[in-house]
């Protein structure tokens, strides 16, 4: 059998689709041993490939229109940090109910969403790895982390639960769109500058099927 490279981090075992990983798994601003972690699988399988879900992150108009987030600045199209295997950007604004937020969000590879957040004055991290159970389908996992409190474990657990429910709500808002979404060349607008660049990132991304010869 082919042995995929694996790593254990943030409560999950990760596998890289290739002989050698092209990038490290993302880190949060605090060491893992200082974090409380909660992991859940989002119920249901979405009828799209993982990269389609990842397109939500550079689609800033979707973030504002669908999720009710407002930016305190212009769209940070020119401030996105691009590498061959990731994209990340920062913004400040307000969440749907008016809570002040400072977010650093991005995509690693073509199947990992990353978020480091200050939500209403308190930090939490969120990762959503997207797994392809078969072509054209995606299973979503959800990882929320928060800094441990030595004096109040119950408060930390309650905040983890709050953060998980917040992210489930966001993902739940995406689910109806993911049932029928299709991208078509020539239909982007000037406000989709970051999304258009992400499409090129996807086209340039290396393909791999290292276990092909082991499949009969």
The residue among 35, 42, 3 whose CA lies nearest residue 20 is 3
What is the rounded average pLDDT of the residues 127-142? 95
**Largest Cα–Cα distance in the chain?**
56
Give the model's confidence band at 151: pLDDT under 50 very low, under 70 low, under 90 confident, else very high. Answer: low
Q: Report whether pLDDT(153) > 90.
A: no
Q: Report whether pLDDT(152) > 70.
A: yes
Give the model's confidence band at 150: pLDDT under 50 very low, under 70 low, under 90 confident, else very high. Answer: low
* C-alpha distances in Å from residue 192, one per residue of 60, 189, 216: 8, 5, 42
Rounded CA gap, 32 and 35, in Å? 5
Give the model's confidence band at 142: pLDDT under 50 very low, under 70 low, under 90 confident, else very high. Answer: very high
The set of residues, in sequence order, having a beta carbon less than 8 Å from that of 99 and lying 6+ positions away, is 119, 120
Q: How high is the pLDDT of residue 57?
A: 97
Please count the CA atoms within 13 angstroms of the CA of 65 that sit on its side-chain side.
Answer: 7
Rounded CA gap, 37 and 142, in Å? 10
Give the model's confidence band at 146: pLDDT under 50 very low, under 70 low, under 90 confident, else very high. Answer: very high
Bin 138: left if φ > 0, else alpha if -120 < ψ < 50, else beta. beta
Rounded CA gap, 129 and 199, in Å? 19
Rounded CA gap, 141 and 135, in Å? 17
Q: Report whether pLDDT(198) > 70.
A: yes
- Residue 4 has phi, psi (to 5 degrees) of -70, 140
Q: How high is the pLDDT of residue 185?
A: 85
Q: Report whether pLDDT(197) > 70.
A: yes
Q: How high is the pLDDT of residue 214?
A: 87
What is the rounded average pLDDT of the residues 145-172? 90
Q: How high is the pLDDT of residue 50?
A: 97
- Ordered by start, the domain boundaries in the chain are 33-181+192-203
What is the rounded average pLDDT of the residues 21-41? 95
pLDDT tens digit sequence for 66-82: 999 999 999 999 999 99
| CATH class label, 33-181+192-203 | alpha beta
Give the model's confidence band at 141: pLDDT under 50 very low, under 70 low, under 90 confident, else very high. Answer: very high
- Scored b (16 or more CB within 10 A) or e, 14-23 reads bebbeeebee
Helix (H, G, I), strand (E, B) or coil at 140: strand
């Amino acid at each position: 059998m082919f042995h995929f490279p694996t790593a254990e981090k943030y409560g999950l075992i990760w596998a890289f689709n290739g002989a050698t990983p092209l990038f490290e798994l993302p880190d949060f601003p605090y060491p893992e041993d200082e974090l409380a972690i909660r992991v859940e699988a989002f119920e249901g399988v979405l009828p799209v490939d993982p990269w389609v879900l990842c397109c939500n992150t550079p689609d800033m108009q979707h973030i504002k229109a669908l999720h009710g987030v407002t930016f305190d600045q212009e769209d940070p199209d020119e401030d996105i940090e691009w590498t061959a295997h990731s994209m990340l950007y920062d913004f400040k604004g307000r969440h749907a109910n008016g809570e002040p937020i400072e977010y650093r969000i991005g995509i690693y590879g073509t199947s990992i969403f990353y978020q480091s957040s200050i939500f209403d004055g308190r930090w939490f991290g969120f990762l959503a790895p997207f797994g392809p159970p078969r072509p054209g389908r995606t299973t979503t996992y959800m990882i929320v982390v928060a800094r441990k409190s030595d004096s109040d474990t119950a408060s930390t657990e309650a905040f983890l639960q709050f953060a998980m429910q917040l992210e489930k709500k966001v993902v739940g808002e995406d689910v109806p769109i993911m049932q029928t979404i299709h991208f078509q060349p020539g239909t982007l607008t000037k406000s989709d500058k970051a999304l258009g660049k992400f499409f090129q990132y996807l086209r340039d991304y290396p393909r791999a099927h290292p276990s092909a010869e082991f499949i009969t």
